Structures are given as structure tokens and as C-alpha cells.
Structure 1
Amino acid sequence: MGALRPGAEVDLRGVTVPSWLLEAVLDAVTGPDGRPHLGRTRFDGAVLPSDAALRGFCVEGDSSFDGACFLGVASFHDARFFGNASFRDVRFARDASFQGARFHRHASFEETVSVGEAVFSGARWHVDVSFRHAAFVGSVSFDHAAFGRDAGMQAAAFGGAASFRRVRVARYARFERAKFRRGLRLGPLVAIGGISLADAVVHGGLHVHAAARHVTARGATVHGDAEFGLRYAELDLEDAAFTGTASVRSLSEPIPGVMEPSWPPAGVRLTSLLRTDAALLEVTGVDLGGCALPRRPASGGGAPRRSWLRRGGRA
């Protein structure tokens, strides 16, 4: 402990870290700015039995918490990660907060399990972040978060309410094969590359309010109503299934609260409805020219029936 200074390397791999030890380490590396400053930081396989107050700390090197277990509340509020940060296979037994945290290089939360409430509101990832196969038993919020490149949520499981309001993604928001037990509210959101909900399963309804070039829900299953309020996007609903009404509308005005890129004006286009299963599909202000439509057998001759498709506005 006497050798620790701000910016020192800390290695607590496999150690059970009581609160007094964590506080002593953080006090020893606290700089003149009042923030703890660590160099290379290793908590792999560590167990933190009490609440972990890591708010405001700065990791100037790479950090790894792989396989760590937080038995109390874990607070990384306003933390700074200047190197790569890995929280792979971490167990958060209670609430976990990364509110306002900053990640300057790649971050991984793959296979992490969070039992309590998880808060990533206002967090900033300057490059990619991966939550592949993560499990959120409680509610999770990414409201006002910003992703510098891809936001990878593939095959993640969301047992509580999931909220992504006022979010900006510089490339792709990826939710392929993700599962949502209590609905998904995606937006207001800007995804400059696009949004993928391919093969996702949503219970409790889906609400997408976004500006993006490409949105796909190919093979998605939504138990409940689904609403897509979009700007600019090409939307693909091929092989999607909705137990309730699915509505698609083009938003003529900019989405308040999120900064859209300077794209040339473009309306929303539906690209495919092949094998789409919905009790009713409502489209408003949407371009259907070039859309791959199902050809249902005609009843007694004549044109194919598409009674499940209702057009409104300038569709």
C-alpha cells in the first residue's frame, strides 16, 4: 500500500476485496483533482462483497474485470476508462451504475449478468462496445448514451424494461437475436449506419422512433403491437411476425432531442414484406414502390387479396 501512487498499476486478480481495502487503494491513488488515477488495472475473478464505490475513478491503462463478482451495489458513475475496458462474464448481484461514464477505447460487457437495475444513462463510448450474450434480469437504461461506432447487443437478454431514449450511434445499433421480456422502446434515436433487429424476440410490444439509413427486422417476432416511426430509412420486414398491429409511418419533421446528420431529404421505403405475418399492417407516408410483396391466392379469381395491409396518407 505504501508504494501506491496516482497512476500505479493495481493487480487484485482473484482477491476478495472488502470495502476497507478498496477504499484504501483508491485513497492511495487519488490525485490533486480528487479522482483516483490507476494505471493498468486487473480485477479478474475478484469478489467485492460490499458496495463498490468506484465513481469518478480514472483508469489510464487497460482495465480488466473479467469474471469478477460484485455482491453489493457497483457504482462506476462518471468513471473514465482511457484504455481498453473488459467486463466480460462479470456478475452484478445488485444494482450497477455506469451513468456518465466515458470509454475512450474498446469496451466489452459480453456474457455479463446484471440482476438489479443497470444504468448506462449518459455514458459515452468513443469506439465499439459489445454486450453480446449479456443478461439483464432487472431494468436497463441507455437513455442519452452515445456510441462512437457500433453498439453490439447481439443475443443479449433483457428481462426487465429496456430503454434507449435520446441515443446516438455513429455506425450500427445491432440487436440480432436479442430477447426482450418486457417490451423495447428504441428511440428517439439516431443510428447513422443502421439498426438491426433481425431474429429478435420482443414480448410486450416494440416502439422504434429513429433516424437511420437502414432498419431491418427480418425474422423478428413481436408479441404485441409494433410501431416504426422513421426518417430516411429503408425498412425490411421480411419473415417478421407480429401478434398485434404493425404500423410504419414516415416522420416529416426532425426528431427532437437528437442530432441528425446532414443527409439529403429522403422518404421512408419498405423494401420487403415477403412472408410477413401480421393481423394488420398500417403504412402512412411510406414508399411501397419496389417493395417485395406477398402474392396471396385470389378468392374466386381476380386480384390477390391484401386485406391485412392498410395504407394511409401518401403511401
Structure 2
Amino acid sequence: MTTDAPLWVHCGQGAGPGDPFAGCTGITVTASGRCLADADATEQTAYLASLSPGADLDLRGTTIGRQLLSRILSVMVDPATRRATLGTARFDSAIFTGDARFDSVAFAGDAWFTSVTFAGVARFTWATFAGVAWFDSATFTGVAWFDSATFTRNASFTSAVFESTRDVGPLVCAGVLDLSTASFAMPVALQVAAWRVVCRRTRWAQAATVWVRYAEVDLSDAVVDHPLAVATRQRPFDGLRGPLDESAMGSARAQAKVVSLRGVDAAHLVLTDLDLSACLFCGTIHLDLLRLEGRCPFGLPNPAGIHWRRGLPVRHTQRLLLAEEQHWRHSRHHPVPGWLPAPPGVDIVEPPALAALYRALRKSYEDSRNEPGAADFYYGEMEMRRADPTIAPAERGLLNIYWALSGYGLRAARAVGWLLAAVALTMLLMMLWGLPAHDTATRSTGTVTGRRIILTTDASAPENPTGPPGDRLTTGRFEKSLRVVVNSVIFRSSGQDLTTTGTYTEMASRLTEPVLLGLAALAVRGRIKR
């Protein structure tokens, strides 16, 4: 019973005087103005006789028992398929007092179960929905069975309440499966093959597992108070009669992807084998506690090749990259071609917030002992710090130097390149001006007094090389300069007499080149450490 007036001409059985809105809300289907449930036996028989396989069915607001539903479906069985076949089915606000058995029913048109109450078991095993299926605000008091159900188009369960259901599916939805604001009171496992699964503000009151294939999963603002595991199912689901028929999904790639975790408390969230390349993380709570298992790729394709920035060549290396960074880089003035734009309605996240996201994900990877992945997130964090317009110029300058020399200690090739360039420059300076023109000559003189000998060794000062610079680039001087550089960088002492220019060159070499060598070693360690 309800005090709200339905939007259709209703039975009104049981309404009190002066209260036209109370009473039975079932839509009238008889000449006497009664709904099917309140009609007498003759009227029910006449109405059922008017039905045929594939006919539209409108029982909005009607209270339907198990026997009445069985009679309705039996007269709509198609002899060719031996399945009950309904056209457009309207069950809005209906109440199923017993078990609602729609097993193997074919819904040829749209199916409306909006605000329906299923007091008993709701069975849609092997049911097929050719049109859109609406279960918005439906209440499943008993267990809901959708094993091997197939939705050719969208299936909406927004604000649906599952009080006793522990398993949903496996099912196929060749459209959008919308579970937004739905609630699951019991521990539940969902098995879904769909193009898109929307779980915005969905509430899981107990532990839950969501197995998906093909789908884009949107978990924005989902309420996760207990462990929630979302994972890609690599092989087809097993239905009641063998492998689930997923032909409606075509030959698409089975790996699912998560497109949003905004507003989710990730402390109890585990993602396994999911593509995160387009996932939006801004606003995720406890992102550092997110657990990632299996293969969860982040990187979207970076712009390929070499690009010019402020007159300098820049090449973007492949790394773990957040979609929000892609959107931010695309929004800048004169962006490099290849960065992806933000989808409609998605705000651009600025560098300070992006740095915090990278920092949280880095901690998550470090806690799981994935050092190479954590290194990539550290690189992203440093990039966003360097791009932050609010930092001091001196700090930005240091970050620019750190980036240019070694990619924040993560690009071994860059550090080795600078090291080789520094060694080559040092050797060139040594050959041209650092090595003396001739080896230093020594002369010892002494006197004998009684049995004691006193010797004095005098060394001539190193002579600066003279003559054309080309004459100084000889094999002998090359070998000497190489020995000086290696000894000074690695062994910290060359033991070679040098000119004044050579002495200062060696001092600069001892200061800079070990740093570059250390940065290269640090980058290699970051890639191989586990």
C-alpha cells in the first residue's frame, strides 16, 4: 500500500473514503477497473488469453504471486524456442510476493523493473534482454540470480538494494552495467563481462570481489568499508551449462581497465591485472595504501621522437604515467603533439596535486617491494615539483640541473653520457694545456761528511706546452691524460706533475666526475633493485 499517487490509472482496491491515493497501485487491465491481481478468475482468464508470445506486458504497481507469474509466462511461451518471450515489459513498482522465476525468459523489448520489490528469490538465470533493462531502486529481499543472463544493451541497477545476494552473475552486458548507488548487504562476488561497469557511490557493506572482463570500471566515490578486490578474469566465465557465451563482446581484449578511483578510500582496495592507463586518481583517499597485484599498466603512449623546447632538444622516455599528467601537459600553451586531452567534464589537475599523487603511489610500490615502479613514480613526482610555479627559483634551478644531469638519478644513460663528455673534455684540456711540455727533470746533489750522506733533489718546474695546439694531440700525451683522468676520478690521485692549468683541471675533474659516476650507479641500482 502507498499514499503516493502512481502515474498510471490504478486499481485503488482497499482505498479508504476520501483518500483516492491509497489502496492498490496496480494498473487497471480489466473493464471493471481492477488490476490483474484483484481481478476475478473470469477477468484473469480473459486477460491471459489476450496475451501471446512477444506481446507487450504492462503490470505496473501490481502485486504478483508466484502462481500468477507462472500463469503469465506460460501463455507467452514461443513454440519455436520453447521460451517465454515478452515484448516491452513494464513491472514498475510491482511487488513479487513469492519467488519471481524469469528463468530463460526472452525480453524482446525494454524491461522495466524500476522500484520493484522482490520479496522472495529473483531468478533471471539464462534470461536474455534485447532492449534496455531497468532495475533502478529495486529491492532484492531474497537472493537474486543472474547466472548466464545476457543483456544486449544497457542494464541499470542504480540505487538497487541487494539484501541477501552473495553472487551476481556470471552475466554478459554488451553495454553499460550501472550499479551506481546500489548497496550490497552481504559478502558478494560479481562476475561480469561488459563494456562498462559503473559503480559510482556503490556501497559494499561486507567484503566483495568483482571479476570483470573487457569492461571500463568506474569506482568514483564508492563506499568501501571492507576489503574490495577488483580483478580481470583472464579466461571466460563458467556458466551453469559450460563456458559463458561472450559472443556479444566480439573479439575485444579481455583485460579490463579502471577509469576512476576518485573519492574512494583505497585502504581496503586491491586491484589485480587491470589497465590503469586512463584511471583518474585525484581525490582518492589513502592512495598510498592501494594494493596493486599482477600486471597493472599505467603508461599511456608518450609523444614519440625528439621535440624542441626553448631551443633545446627533448625526448620523452617511457615511464609509468598518470592520465592526469597527460591531461595537464595537453592543456599547456603550445603542447607537444601526442599528449591526450582530458575527457569532457574532467578538471585539469595542477602540478602540486599531481606530485602528491605520484608520492602516494611511490609509497604504495615501495611497500610492495616494487622498486623499479616506485622509481618511475619518483620521476613523475620530481617532474611535477619542477613544474610547480610556486616553488622558489633557486629550488627550480637545482631541480633543472638534477634533471639535466641524470634524470633525477634515474636515467643511467644520461649520467653516463655526461660522464663520458666530462672525461673527454678533461682529457682534451690535459693534452692541450695540462701536461707539461717535457717530463720533469730531477737532479740530486750531496756531500759526504764522515760516514753520513746528505742528498738534495731538485725538480724543475713543469713547463707549459708551446707550439701549435695540433702538435700537442699526440698518442703519448693521450695516454698520459687518460691515466691522469682515471687515477683522479677513481683512485683520487694521479701522481702526475701538471701545469697550473692541469692542476685546476684535475681538481674540477675530482669534484664533478665522481658525482656523475655515482648518479649513473644510482640509476642502475634503482632499476634492478627489488
Aligned residues: 271
- 1:186 — aligned with what? 230
- The structure where strand makes up a greater share of residues is 1
Partner SS state of residue 273, structure 2 = strand
Q: CA deviation at 1:151?
A: 1.4
Cα deviations by residue, 1:197-235 (Å, 9 ceiling, x for unpaired): 111125644343313432333322359953113343249
- 1:80 — aligned with what? 128
Q: For 1:79 and 1:267, locate their aligned partners in 2 and report how far apart those are by CA, in whole Å.
A: 45
Listed as ranges, the gaps of 5+ residues in structure 1 are: 236-265, 296-301, 304-310
Query: TM-score scaled to structure 1, two decimals?
Result: 0.75
1:113 aligns with 2:158: no
- In structure 2, relative to structure 1, the CA distance for the partners of 1:63 and 1:226 (3 Å cut) is same
Q: For 2:272 and 2:199, locate their aligned partners in 1 and report how far apart those are by CA, in whole Å.
A: 16
Q: CA deviation at 1:75?
A: 1.0
Q: For 2:529 and 2:150, locate their aligned partners in 1 and report how far apart those are by CA, in whole Å.
A: 44
**1:233 aligned to 287, 294, 298, which one?**
298
Q: CA deviation at 1:289?
A: 6.8
Q: For 1:312 and 1:207, locate their aligned partners in 2 and report how far apart those are by CA, in whole Å.
A: 23
Partner SS state of residue 288, structure 1 = helix
| Structure number with larger C-alpha Rg | 2
Q: For 1:280 and 1:214, locate their aligned partners in 2 and report how far apart those are by CA, in whole Å.
A: 21
- 2:279 — aligned with what? 215
**1:58 aligned to 106, 109, 112, which one?**
106
Equivalent residues of 2:272, 2:296 under 8 A apart = no
- In structure 2, relative to structure 1, the CA distance for the partners of 1:81 and 1:285 (3 Å cut) is same
Equivalent residues of 2:257, 2:275 under 8 A apart = no
**1:285 aligned to 365, 372, 375, which one?**
372
- In structure 2, relative to structure 1, the CA distance for the partners of 1:28 and 1:203 (3 Å cut) is farther
- 1:94 — aligned with what? 142
Partner SS state of residue 127, structure 1 = strand
- 2:203 — aligned with what? 157
Equivalent residues of 2:287, 2:360 under 8 A apart = no
- In structure 2, relative to structure 1, the CA distance for the partners of 1:205 and 1:175 (3 Å cut) is closer
Equivalent residues of 2:255, 2:273 under 8 A apart = no
Q: For 1:288 and 1:203, locate their aligned partners in 2 and report how far apart those are by CA, in whole Å.
A: 19
Cα deviations by residue, 1:20-57 (Å, 9 ceiling, x for unpaired): 10000111111232211001101001000111111111
Cα deviations by residue, 1:78-133 (Å, 9 ceiling, x for unpaired): 11000111111101112112121111112211111111115332211111221111
Listed as ranges, the gaps of 5+ residues in structure 2 are: 1-47, 234-253, 301-317, 326-353, 386-397, 400-525
- In structure 2, relative to structure 1, the CA distance for the partners of 1:213 and 1:180 (3 Å cut) is same
Equivalent residues of 1:76, 1:101 under 8 A apart = yes
Q: CA deviation at 1:273?
A: 4.5
| Further displaced range: 40-49 or 283-292 | 283-292
**1:195 aligned to 223, 243, 259, which one?**
259
- In structure 2, relative to structure 1, the CA distance for the partners of 1:117 and 1:284 (3 Å cut) is farther
- In structure 2, relative to structure 1, the CA distance for the partners of 1:137 and 1:71 (3 Å cut) is same
Q: For 1:222 and 1:28, locate their aligned partners in 2 and report how far apart those are by CA, in whole Å.
A: 56
Q: CA deviation at 1:173?
A: 1.1
Q: For 1:8 and 1:195, locate their aligned partners in 2 and report how far apart those are by CA, in whole Å.
A: 40
Q: For 2:319 and 2:88, locate their aligned partners in 1 and report how far apart those are by CA, in whole Å.
A: 49
**1:129 aligned to 153, 177, 198, which one?**
177
1:140 aligns with 2:184: no
- The structure where helix makes up a greater share of residues is 2
- In structure 2, relative to structure 1, the CA distance for the partners of 1:312 and 1:179 (3 Å cut) is farther
- 1:26 — aligned with what? 73
Equivalent residues of 1:29, 1:37 under 8 A apart = yes
1:274 aligns with 2:356: yes
Q: For 1:232 and 1:85, locate their aligned partners in 2 and report how far apart those are by CA, in whole Å.
A: 33
Partner SS state of residue 86, structure 2 = strand
- In structure 2, relative to structure 1, the CA distance for the partners of 1:48 and 1:223 (3 Å cut) is farther
**2:63 aligned to 16, 23, 32, which one?**
16
Q: CA deviation at 1:76?
A: 0.8
